[in-house]
Amino acid sequence: MPELPEVERTRLSLAPLIGRTITTVTLRRADICDSFNALGTPHKSAPRDLLAGAKISSLTRKGKQLAIHASDGRTLCIQLGMSGTVRLLQPSTQDKGTQDSFPAHTHAVWFVDNYSQLLFIDPRRFGGLSTYPTESELHQHRWSTLGPDALTITAHDLAHACEHAHRPIKSLLLDQSALAGVGNIYADESLFRAHIHPAAHAGTLTKPQLNSLARAIRFILARAIKAGGSTLRNYADSTGTSGAAQLLHAVYGRAGKPCFACKRPLSGIRLAQRATVFCPACQPPPPKPRPQMKPA
């Protein structure tokens, strides 16, 4: 957590920032921010890198990463990691006290039009910030390493990623260089909807299976976005609103409970070092490879 739906809901909730100006920036932990020049060379982050004085023109997302773009081209990328959040505090909701009044683990603060505040909070510090002089540098030096965005994934995209893959399909879905945006929750949910066993080798999936899986991924992610994302522990969008997509989960976190489709108990295993839940009836195991015949 968070995965693509939660980041997309965060992006949508930050829409009030568009057209507004960031007046000042306070970076409270320098080690959570990396700034790069046009050549991709890192340098010490300055307030200007973090959009001080910039008018916000747009908000974009690829996979699990969020970007804030300024009208002069400067770009800030936010990666929420496992526990990161951003909070947009309006004058009626923010504490007008001292810096010590910010929530614990607030690592960066942007003051917007001198009265709103945008906070980056990350207790476990698996997330972080990175800055680029233009949007093209973000794409060139960071987002070029990501696979196709999962919200618009096609069967052709999946076929290309799976073509020479010798690993379970669940492992491939979690690989952000193959498919950007899917994590443990929505991998399990998508594979269940597509009736594909998570341990099936990606390179053996048939064309109908790839079509079904691409449709399932798009459906599961779009439904989760509409439901506000999954709030399992403390996820909330930038307004502090929790999601309800966890109420729609068919398999994730339900090992041992009855399958909603066939009523048989769901199975739980470790796959790709992650807890994995599936229905052994609705997602039959892949056929075992035939033993190779020794030459006479």
260 to 66, 213, 237, 276: CA distances (angstroms): 34, 19, 29, 17
Q: Which of 209, 199, 204 is nearest to 162 (CA)?
A: 204
Q: Tell me whether residue 3 is one of the annotated catalytic residues.
A: yes
Q: Tell me whether residue 61 is one of the annotated catalytic residues.
A: no
Q: Which of 254, 274, 280, 286 is catalytic?
A: 274
Q: Which of 3, 6, 8, 137 is catalytic?
A: 3
Q: Which of 2, 5, 133, 168 is catalytic?
A: 2
Q: Tell me whether residue 137 is one of the annotated catalytic residues.
A: no
47 preceded by a cis bond (ω within 30 of 0): no
* β-pair type (33-36, 128-132): parallel
Q: Which of 11, 62, 64, 193 is catalytic?
A: 64
Provide the strand spans (E) within the chain.
22-27, 33-36, 42-43, 56-62, 65-70, 75-79, 85-89, 106-112, 116-121, 128-132, 267-271, 274-278
Q: Tell me whether residue 64 is one of the annotated catalytic residues.
A: yes
Calculated CA dihedral for residues 72, 138, 106, 240, nearest 10 degrees: 90
Residue pair 14/25 in contact by the 8 Å Cβ criterion? no
Q: Which of 70, 97, 59 is nearest to 238 (CA)?
A: 59
DSSP 200-242: SBGGG--HHHHHHHHHHHHHHHHHHHHTT---SSS---TTSPP
- What phi and psi, each to the nearest 5 degrees, are found at residue 36? -130, 150
The two structure tokens encoding residue 34: 């990396």
**Measured distance CA(137)–CA(56) in Å, rounded:** 17
Give catalytic residues, as residue numbers: 2-3, 64, 274
